[in-house]
Amino acid sequence: MDTNRTLTGRRALVTGGARGIGAAIARRLAADGACVVIADLDVEEGRRLAADIGAAAVQLDVTELLQVGEVIDSHGPFDILVNNAGMDQHAFFTQTTADDWRRLLAVNLESVFATTHAVLPHMQGAGYGRIINIASEAGRLGSRGGAVYAAAKGGVIAFTRSIARENGRKGITANVVAPGPIDTPMLREAVARGGERLMGTMTGATLAGRLGTPDEVAAATAFLASDAAGFITGEILGVSGGMGCGA
C-alpha cells in the first residue's frame, strides 16, 4: 500500500469505479489519502470494493443525466473528478445502428459533460479542482471495428482541452489519461472471443510488447490528481506502452 498521502483532505468521485481500471484508480486514490466515492451501475461490487479500501459507493447510471446531478449534489462537493465509466462495441461501422451510436455516445461522452457540468461550480468557487478523463488511444489513432467508440473518446479529448482553456486561471486542471491495451476482465473476454491472434495484435501494437495493468493507469491518474501536477493541464497522458508514439 502506498503510504505517500498526497491527497489527504481531497474528495474524489470515480465513475465506473467498481472493477477493472476504475477499481484500480479508486484503490490508488484512497491509498493516497483521498476520500473516495465509487459510482457504478453495479453498486454491490462497488460496495465490496469500498469496504475494502475505506471508501463509499453509490449506484449510478451515467446515462441518466438527472441522476448524475443528484449523486454529485448528495455526495459532493468534489475536489477530484475521474470520469472512467465507459463501454465499447466491437463491430464495423456499417454493422452498427443509430441506437448503438446513441448508447456509445451517452456512456462515453455525454456522461463526461454531465459530471463536469455538475462539479465545476464548486471547483470554481473553491479555486481548486482536478478533472481527469479516462479516454483511449483510440481517440487519437482511430479503431478498426470501433469507429463510434473512437469518435466518442476523441470527443472526450477535445472537450477536456476546452475545459482546461476555460478554467486554467481558476486553479482547475483538466487532463486526459489515454490507455492502450490494458489487462482487464473486459479485455480478456474480448480475447476469448477473438482468439490469441487478437492478443498478439494488441501487444504487437505497443513498443513495450505487452499489455498494461490497471495499476499503471491508476498511477498516472493519481499523479494528475495531485498538487505535483498543478502546472499540467489540457494534456493527454498515454498509458499505452508507446502505442500512441508520434500521434
- Domain ranges, ordered by start, for the chain: 11-180+214-238
pLDDT tens digits for range 204-217: 889 999 999 999 99
Active site residues: 149
The highest-level CATH class for domain 11-180+214-238 is alpha beta
Claim: this prediction has a pTM higher than 0.95: no
Enter the C-alpha cell of residue 201.
495484435
pLDDT digits (tens, 9 = 90+) for 145-155: 899 999 999 99
Q: Name, in order, each residue with C-beta under 8 angstroms of 111's C-beta and a sequence gap of 6 or more.
A: 15, 62, 63, 65, 68, 83, 85
**Residue 195, pLDDT above cutoff 80:** no
Distance of CA 54 to the CA centre of its chain: 21
